[in-house]
Each structure stands twice: as C-alpha cells, then as structure tokens.
A and B are shown apart, each in its own frame.
Chain A
Amino acid sequence: MKALYTAARVLKQLAHDPRTLVLIFAVPPLLLWLLKYVFNNDLFFTQFAPLMLGIFPMIMMFLITSIATLRERKSGTLSRLMSMPLRKSDFIFGYALAFSLVAAIQAVLATLVMIYGLGIEIGGGTSFAIIAAVASALLGTTMGLFTSAFARTEFQAIQFMPALLFPQILLCGLFVARDQMATVLARISDWLPLTYSSDLMKRIAAGGSWGVDHTKDLIIICGFIIGFLLIGALTIRRQEKTK
C-alpha cells in the first residue's frame, strides 16, 4: 500500500511540472517524425522506426528516473523516509509504478503516432508493439533507479547515459546485425538488456503471430527489470558508514 502512496506522490510531483510532462510525451513522437525525413526513404524508415520506438522511451525514462531518484537522495527526503516505517521495496516499487505509468503513456503515444501518423505498418500488431515499447521504457526506468545510487551529482547521472546506454545501442543490432559483429561483441550483446528489447521489437515489426521467441525475449526483459529493481532496493541504505 505504501508503494501506492509513493507512486501517487511521484505522479503529483510530475503533475506540478507541466514542462517535463510535455517533453516526456512529445519528444519521442517528434523524433520519430524527424527520423522519417532524415531517412527520406520509406524502406529504411520502415525497418528502422520500430527499433527506435524501443530505444527513445528507454533513454528518456532512464534519464528522468535517475535524476528524480538522485534528487531524492540529495535533498534528504530519502534519508527521512528511511527513518520512517517504510520498506525499501515500497519506495523503489512506488517509483517504478509511477514511472511505468508515465512510460506506458509515452510508449502508447509514440506507437500510435508511428502507426497512424507516419504510416508505418507493424506486421505483428499494434498492441504487441505497445507492449514491447512499454517493456523497453520500463527497462530504462529500472536502470535509472539502479544507476542513480552511483551518481553524486546530476552531471554524473547524465554521464551514465553514454557509459551504459550507448554501448547497448551500438551492440543491440540496430546498426549492424549481431551475427555480423566480431564474435566477442556478439557474445557481450547476449548479456545486455537492450538486445532483447530490440530483438522483440524486430520480431513484432516483421509480422507473424506471437511465438516462443517473442515470449523468450519478453521473459528475459522482465528478468532484467526485476533484477534492476531488486539491486536498486539494495543500493538504498538506512545507515551511513562510519569508522
């Protein structure tokens, strides 16, 4: 129940910040629209756009979540909450719940704009594309919750994006198919969450019905999400170290 109170509180904070809300919901569709004219080639754009649908929400939610939780750590509110009868899991799940809702709205908007505004057909169905985009945004959210523990300033938090997300974007098969990469890079990509997010979106975009491989990708993504949440909860400390 306290996770729900925390989620409601985070959403109220966002509601007081309309500029951030506009940026969260408007930027991914605008970037997709921009991409269409950057490619200026329907064939490339059709192949590329569904993958971007998974990547944009992930990057944005990663940044928003890591900075929001870092702010909580720095302002003393996290420390105050940890002196109260609140479980660490309630705090972290509260954040995850609030940002999941935001991520879901963002992913739905971006998917609908892509399909109905930019004319991209998703062979596997709109609803599955939305599920994949939401899963990807959730990955970004939980990674942000986790990495905020290792940043002391907003500058450091932002630097985690090139450090942690860019290598995943390069290795997920967006630019070069994974089986054409150097073997060592392909093996590394097997252990990165964005690889499965990207694979799932590719399968859905390619068409056909939902199969075992789709389920396998989704289970792995959920595993990463749960793993990041649990490790995120472990990074919250009730007591400062002394010697």
Chain B
Amino acid sequence: MKYVATVRDLSVTYDGRVKALDDVSLKIPIGQIAGLIGPSGSGKTTLIKSIVGQLKLPANKVAVLGLSAGAGQLRERVAYMSQELAVYDDLTVRQNLIYFARIIGLSRLEVKTRVEEILHKVDLSDQKNQLVTDLSGGQKQRVSLAVALLGQPELLVLDEPTVGLDPLLIENLWKLFREITGKGATLIVSSHSMTEAARCDDLVLMHEGKIIAIGSPSELEEKTKSRNIEQAFLKLVRQTNKKEPK
C-alpha cells in the first residue's frame, strides 16, 4: 500500500512547556479520506500543521508525498484549510477566490471557470459579489473551504471544515470530498464530531496529544464491541486512562 503521509515518533512541544503531540506515529494511505478525530485540545491541529509543513520539526519525522513536510515543491501539491477563516473579509467572495486562484498558478481562463465551478459546489453563487464581512459564519466558512478546493491538489488537508454548516450542506460537501478522492486525491479531515467520523475511510482517534487507535470505523467498533464510533472512542479513552493513571 502506498502512503501519502508518514509520521514517525513525533512529539511537539510549544514554548518548551505545552506538549501538543506525544510520540505520534501514523501512515495515511493514498486516495482515502482519513479522519483525525478527537476532542478540542487533543492535538489534531498540531498534527495537521506538522503534515502541511507549518511547524519547524526535526528532519525525517514527517514525510508527505515522498518529501519532507514543508518542502517547497509540496506547496503546489498540498492544499490546506485552517480553522481560522483566513480569507479577506474586505473583499467579495469572488475577489477572494480569484486572488487565491492566481496565487496557486491558475491561468486567467482557468480562474474564470474554476471559480464559478467552486462557487456552485459550496453553494455560494448567489453571494459571490458580497463582501465576506457581510456573510454569516457558515457562509464565511464555505469561502475558506472554497479557497482550499480551488486547485487540484494531491493531498487536501481540512481542519474542521464543516463546523457551523447545516446538515444538508454537510451532506453535499461529503459528496464533494468523495468526488475528490474518486479522482485519486487524498483527504485528511479533522473533526471533533463522531457523526462525521463515520463517513471517513480511516480514523485516527486522538486524546491528549496521543493516538489511541487507528482503523476504519467498522474495525474500531468491532475491536471495542461498540455500536458506534462515539461509544468506541469513549471506551478507548477509558482504556488509555486506566493504562496510564495520572
């Protein structure tokens, strides 16, 4: 099996005090939707930042598409949406998308068609000429997601992409995610929602900076004899806490 990202024995500490990741190792297979699942503060965002190369890490700890995470060549092959909106709220939705499309290297002609296509996919065609500042929270979130979807990256990393969105839109976005992986790309999606976890091919369950389990939703449910992922996650957390008393 080929892997899009490999993390080896990674520990990350901020300011020499806060341990965000504790000896984490994992491999993410190509062409799948991998879910990083865990509560707030479990280390999901730090792991995502490590994979997209936003953290300065020791060499050989994180490899992405065969290169060291953060390598310049990866910037054209990996797209990332952070939890921050990271779009210009004093520009219109369309102006935002056009600018980012030019930055990722789309030609003038490609920009026009791609922007319209993405606006339709995230259901923002009617709001395209509105300033981002005038949009609702969910709409702003979709502008940020639209920026991440502009290119055709081999790896798309989305940090909590569906927070604040309505169920219908979430359903449509997951169809879009499937469409993207159908074309051979890989998606890494973080979420604290166990309902979302069930939609992923592979799950990485995280708790207090550690990976407590890796496997498909059905494997994890079976392993823990649980009816759903939420129950499986809770059982795994209790098992981990028993092993490592505080």
Contact = CB atoms under 8 A, between A and B. Distances in A.
B56 A240 contact: yes
B15 to A, nearest CB: 7
A86 B103 contact: yes
22 contacts: A5-B102, A8-B99, A9-B91, A9-B95, A9-B99, A13-B90, A16-B90, A75-B84, A75-B88, A77-B87, A77-B88, A80-B100, A81-B103, A83-B80, A85-B75, A238-B70, A239-B55, A240-B54, A241-B56, A242-B13, A242-B57, A243-B13
Given A16-B91, A77-B87, A5 B103 contact: yes
A241 B49 CA distance: 12
Interface in B44-63: 49, 52-57
B67 interface: no
A83 B105 CA distance: 13
Interface in B1-24: 12-16
A8 B100 CA distance: 12
Most-contacted residue by chain A among B70, B99, B131 (CB, 10 A) = B99
Contacts of A86: 103
A162 interface: no
Nearest to A240: B55
B103 A84 contact: yes
A17 interface: yes
Interface string A195-231: 0000000000000000000000000000000000000
Nearest to A90: B103
Interface size class of A (residues with CB under 8 A): 20 to 34
A2 B88 CA distance: 17
Contacts of B91: 9, 12-13, 16
Contacts of A17: 90
Contacts of B75: 83-85
Given A80-B100, A80-B147, A238-B54, 12 more contacts: A5-B103, A6-B99, A9-B95, A9-B99, A13-B91, A17-B90, A75-B88, A77-B87, A79-B82, A79-B84, A85-B105, A239-B55
Interface in A180-199: none
Given A80-B147, A86-B103, A12 B53 contact: no
Contacts of A8: 99
A80 B54 contact: no
B36 to A, nearest CB: 17
B117 interface: no
* The 7 nearest A-B residue pairs measured at CB: A76-B84, A76-B86, A80-B86, A239-B56, A5-B102, A85-B75, A9-B99
B85 interface: yes
Contact of B82 (A5, A16, A76, A243): A76
Contacts of B15: 243
A238 B53 contact: yes
A101 B19 CA distance: 46
Contacts of A84: 75, 100, 103-104
B76 interface: yes
A76 B14 CA distance: 19
A243 B100 CA distance: 32
B156 to A, nearest CB: 12
Contacts of A238: 53-54, 70
Interface string A1-27: 010011011001100110000000000
Interface in A36-78: 75-77
Contacts of A243: 13-16
